[in-house]
């Protein structure tokens, strides 16, 4: 089984896990509680712009749950707003509308109760969290080429996402 957490786009071979009941969603739940999945039962987990919605106090528990359900050598694809890129761009942009747009990428769009960002990541911070729960191979990549979503978002001509593949 392959799971797209927080996704909305259906794709052959992938199941969708979401906190909200929406069309195409196969499993409903919170990313910090994957108890409905057995140990070593998932080949791949994909999350794009979801992990930053996990409160810092739940990051370790959430990653341990993801690690637990992944099969040996299973892959975890995670895309989050890249704080190094966004903070640098925020400092350099003079246009106030663009500054607000960047702030929304940092803090969430805040269009509903789930659209708030609780934590931000740079590669070194995300890497350390992943390594601390047991992920072995951790690699930053430009693109996943799996889904058409925010992981490829380039509002100002450059990517704003930090895309990482971690292997159990």
105-131: per-residue pLDDT in tens? Answer: 999 999 988 889 999 999 999 999 999
Summarised one tens digit per residue, pLDDT across range 33-56 is 999 999 999 999 999 999 999 999
The count of domains in the chain is 1
Confidence of residue 155 (pLDDT cuts 50, 70, 90): very high
The pLDDT value given to residue 8: 87
Q: Is 91 part of any domain?
A: no
Residues 39, 134: contact at Cβ < 8 Å? no
Summarised one tens digit per residue, pLDDT across range 71-116 is 999 999 999 999 999 999 999 999 999 999 999 999 999 998 888 9
Q: Is 19 part of any domain?
A: yes
CATH number at residue 132: 3.40.50.150
Q: Is 108 part of any domain?
A: no
Q: Is 17 part of any domain?
A: yes
The pLDDT value given to residue 81: 98
Residues 2, 70: contact at Cβ < 8 Å? no
Radius of gyration of the chain (CA): 16
Rounded to an integer, what distance in angstroms lies between the CA atom of residue 110 and that of residue 13? 31
Confidence of residue 141 (pLDDT cuts 50, 70, 90): very high
The mean of the pLDDT values for the chain is 96
The pLDDT value given to residue 114: 87
The pLDDT value given to residue 80: 98
How many other β-carbons are positioned within 10 Å of the β-carbon of residue 148?
10
Residue 80 bridge partners (DSSP): 162
Q: Is 38 part of any domain?
A: yes
Q: Is 92 part of any domain?
A: no
- Determine phi and psi for 78, rounding to 5 degrees: -130, 130
- In terms of residue numbers, what domain contains 74? 2-83+119-167
Angle at 154 between CA 108 and CA 99, to 5 degrees: 50
Q: Is 112 part of any domain?
A: no
């Amino acid at each position: 089984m392959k799971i797209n957490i927080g996704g909305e786009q259906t794709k052959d071979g992938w199941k969708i896990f979401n906190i909200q009941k929406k069309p195409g969603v196969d499993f409903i739940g919170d990313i910090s509680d994957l108890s409905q999945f057995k140990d070593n039962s998932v080949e791949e987990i994909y999350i794009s712009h979801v992990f930053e919605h996990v409160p810092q106090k739940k990051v370790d528990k959430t990653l341990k749950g993801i690690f637990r359900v992944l099969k040996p050598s299973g892959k975890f694809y995670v895309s989050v707003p890249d704080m190094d890129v966004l903070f640098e761009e925020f400092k350099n942009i003079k246009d106030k509308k663009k500054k607000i747009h960047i702030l929304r990428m940092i803090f969430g769009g805040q269009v509903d109760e789930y659209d708030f960002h609780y934590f931000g990541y740079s590669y070194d911070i995300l890497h350390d969290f992943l390594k601390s729960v047991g992920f072995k191979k951790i690699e930053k990549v430009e693109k996943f080429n799996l889904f058409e979503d925010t992981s490829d978002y380039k509002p100002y001509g450059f990517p704003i996402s930090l895309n990482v593949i971690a292997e159990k």
